[in-house]
Amino acid sequence: MSIWGKILGGAAGLAIAGPIGALIGAIAGHAVDRYRATQIEEGGADPTKSIAFTIGVIVLSAKMAKADGVVTRDEIDA
């Protein structure tokens, strides 16, 4: 199980509300960690969303490469 939710929640709680906030933030982070663990066990994210995100990144990369004019071979190879 991941510990990052607890660490981030505790740090955010500490910054906002001191030691009591750190405790509440760590508890909230633990809940997030458990929720994410159950999502991974159940099959993770929807594959359709993952594919749509990948296509979006590719399209954005192509637009960025073409923004300065002609797409060079160096930009394609990178």
Asked if pLDDT for residue 12 goes beyond 90, the answer is yes
| Residue boundaries of the structural domains of the chain | 1-44, 46-78
Overall average pLDDT of the 52-76 stretch? 85
pTM of the model: 0.52
8: pLDDT strictly greater than 90: yes
* The pLDDT value given to residue 39: 78
Q: What angle do CA 48, 5, 7 make, to 5 degrees?
A: 155
Are the C-beta atoms of residues 6 and 33 closer than 8 Å to each other?
A: yes
Task: Tell which wins on pLDDT, 47 or 74.
Answer: 74
In this structure, what are the phi and psi dihedrals at residue 40, rounded to the nearest 5 degrees?
A: -70, -40
pLDDT of res. 1: 59
